[in-house]
Amino acid sequence: MSVLLIAEHNNKNLKPFTLNAITAASKIDADVHVLVAGSGSENVAKEVAGIPLVKKVLHCDSPSYQNYLPENLAPLVIKNADKYDHIVASANTFGKNFMPRVAAALDTSQVSDVIKVNSPDTFVRPIYAGNAFATVKSNDKKRCVTIRPTSFEPAPKTGGSAQVEKVEAADVPNFSKFVKREETKSERPELGTARIVVSGGRGLESGENFKLITDIADKLNAAVGASRAAVDAGYISNDHQVGQTGKVVVPDLYIAVGISGAIQHLAGMKESKIIVAINKDGEAPIFSIADYGLEADLFKALPEFLSELNKLNTIQK
Amino acid sequence: MKILVAVKRVIDYNVQIRVKEDGTGVHTDNVKMSTNPPDDNAVEESVKLKESGKVKEVVAVTIGEEKAQETVRKALAVGADRGIHVKAESYIEPLGIAKILKKVVEKEKPDMVFLGKQAIDDDCNQTGQMLAAMLNWPQATFSSKVVLKDKSMEIVREIDEGLETIEVNLPSVVTCDLRLNEPRYASLPNIMKAKKKPIEQMVAKDLGVDISNRVQQLKVEEPPKRKAGIKVANVAELVSKLKNEAKVI
């Protein structure tokens, strides 16, 4: 039976991780329907209808859904859940927030952070910060599943023409209110989807020194990441954190600078294709997973790195 | 006002996890166990709210085997007033845990329930949200700042895009981020005093809720290992390797 996937968007455009979740949903069942709940979100519904893997779009437009308050969104999902065996969303702060409310209301046990779909009821998911992979079988009739986006390729965006069906808003409880969102604006690629990530840790010693990281990131057209220690110390904002409870990234190139490599950090980056570690402590655990390790003082190595990059004729974008 | 704070006993965050050869799980015998790290933040915030005078009582609850009581004792040692231990011999999924917590909430009638945002063992990130849904309460997840007002809370949440501020009416469920506060250490006199604080005992299967597991664990295995890389002598060699060998820049 069909899959209902909940789209993440900003009322203007679809967020890219929804495309990865659509790929995963299509491995559960080919009949993928997508719920777009938003306010002034017609463009998003159109965008989703054009995704070839999507067979039908349920579009609900109401001020109640402007800011994804989970108390408002969950009743709408539940109201439309009858016809579906699977409810699917991305395992990011969007999906993590509302999906368990849906699962609890449906009395079903959620399968979180799926990295592989073996069959419609059997999934692989990381546990213990990715230090073990569990293969699990859900015996519930209705299954709530969240998808680790970076474990699936994004679905192609254009060429489809799914039917868009309007659905009515559900009653909202009115006991929570959105106040504001402070989004970090950046010209750089998004951390979750960037081809190259340059990350800094406590070794940077201050927020000002993070400029050494951002200079290299800009040269390589890379996103900027950070260890929890660097975020806790206030060097950089929380949306840059890579790790077990931060973001999980799988870039082609991950450059870890001044990061010792705690288990919790490795959980967020160790699937990267090529890992570079720059650290003055030759015994740092990060070297045990690095393809290329450079034992050096980052304050000398980073300016040198930038000047070597400047010498190159071309840099892949 | 009254706070119920939930704590879970997990393998200590510093322990290198070892997967069992027979694929049934991970080794837990003779392994150091501790309170789930963000649960410590939940306890700390509860105690701070009590110290501010707005909250009169903090009750710490855990669900698990006999030794799970240690986590409640630790919460009592840093300032919780009394404890509840719901005994359960085997693993219960977040859905079952939320049902048990709902029973405790119905009995204790707190104004707020604080929990960690995620347990570092099963990494599910579900219990707080499920409890809120079952109680038909609002929720504030991934909280990094909590301001308690008369009938509501203003909460700053850590989201993928940055920070979000919401206001939730009381009663409410709050799940705590690691950056919410700096958990204190218990002093020796307070550890001694905590031994005299009461811990009420309950038994999970006697609470009249369905806690059967719905998700069957078929196997647990080690993730694929990365093969060891090389050390480069200098920056020039690094750039050359990235350009010509790995071909990523």
Per residue in A293-305, pLDDT (tens digit) is 999 999 999 999 9
R_g over Cα of chain B: 21
Class for the domain spanning A3-166: alpha beta
Q: Give contacts of B38 with chain A, Cβ < 8 Å.
A: 245
Nearest to A96 among B125, B167, B234 (CB): B125
Which pLDDT value is given to residue A184?
Answer: 80
Q: Give contacts of A229 with chain B, Cβ < 8 Å.
A: none
CA B220/CA A134 separation, integer angstroms:
4
Q: Calculate how close chain B gets to A134, using CA atoms only, in Å.
A: 4
ipTM here: 0.95
Which pLDDT value is given to residue A80?
Answer: 98
Interface test with A, best of B159, B211, B227 (most A CBs within 10 A): B159
Q: Which of A237, A231, A224, A153 is nearest to A194 (CA)?
A: A224
Which pLDDT value is given to residue A187?
Answer: 86
Instruction: Kindly state the average pLDDT of the residues B8-15.
Output: 95
Tokens representing residue A118 in the block: 């073996």
Which residues contact residue A137 at a Cβ distance below 8 angstroms, ignoring those fewer than 6 apart? A121, A122, B215, B216, B218
For chain A, residues classed under CATH 3.40.50.1220 are 196-311
CA B242/CA A125 separation, integer angstroms:
31
Which pLDDT value is given to residue A57?
Answer: 98
Per residue in B60-80, pLDDT (tens digit) is 999 999 999 999 999 999 999
Tokens representing residue B49 in the block: 């709210």
Please give the order of strands across the beta sheet that includes A274-279: A223-226, A196-200, A253-257, A274-279, A292-295, B230-232
pLDDT at B228 over 80: no
Asked whether the beta carbons of residue B123 and residue A129 sit closer than 8 angstroms, the reply is: yes
CATH number at residue B211: 3.40.50.620
Average pLDDT, chain A: 96
Three-state SS at A112 = strand
> Is A99 within 8 Å of chain B by CB?
yes
Per residue in B87-112, pLDDT (tens digit) is 999 999 999 999 999 999 999 999 99
pLDDT band for position A313 (50/70/90)? confident
| C-alpha count within 13 angstroms, C-beta hemisphere, residue A78 | 21
Per residue in A246-303, pLDDT (tens digit) is 899 999 999 999 999 999 999 999 999 999 999 999 999 999 999 999 999 999 999 9
Asked whether the beta carbons of residue B159 and residue A93 sit closer than 8 angstroms, the reply is: yes
pLDDT at A317 over 90: no
> Is A69 within 8 Å of chain B by CB?
yes
Furthest-apart CA atoms within chain B: distance in Å: 67
Per residue in A219-231, pLDDT (tens digit) is 999 999 999 999 9
> Is B162 within 8 Å of chain A by CB?
yes
> Is A291 within 8 Å of chain B by CB?
yes
Contacts A–B by Cβ distance under 8 A: 261
Per residue in B143-166, pLDDT (tens digit) is 999 999 999 999 999 999 999 999
Q: Which CATH superfamily is domain A196-311 in?
A: TPP-binding domain (3.40.50.1220)
Query: A104 to chain B: nearest residue by CA?
Result: B130
Q: For residues B92 and B100, is the Cβ–Cβ distance under 8 A?
A: yes
Q: Calculate how close chain B gets to A178, using CA atoms only, in Å.
A: 5
If one counts the domains in chain B, the total is 1
> Is B213 within 8 Å of chain A by CB?
yes
Asked whether the beta carbons of residue A176 and residue B166 sit closer than 8 angstroms, the reply is: yes
Q: What pairs with residue B157 in β-bridges?
A: B143, B164
Tokens representing residue B121 in the block: 């063992």
pLDDT band for position B130 (50/70/90)? very high
Asked whether the beta carbons of residue B166 and residue A305 sit closer than 8 angstroms, the reply is: no
CA A217/CA B8 separation, integer angstroms:
40
Q: For residues B88 and B65, is the Cβ–Cβ distance under 8 A?
A: yes
Which pLDDT value is given to residue B12?
Answer: 96
> Is A308 within 8 Å of chain B by CB?
yes
The whole model's pTM is what?
A: 0.95
For chain A, residues classed under CATH 3.40.50.620 are 3-166
- Tell me whether strands B162-169 and A176-183 are parallel, antiparallel or unpaired: antiparallel
> Is B222 within 8 Å of chain A by CB?
yes
Which pLDDT value is given to residue B227?
Answer: 80
Which pLDDT value is given to residue B90?
Answer: 92
> Is A129 within 8 Å of chain B by CB?
yes
Residue B50 belongs to what domain range?
2-245
Q: Give contacts of B12 with chain A, Cβ < 8 Å.
A: none
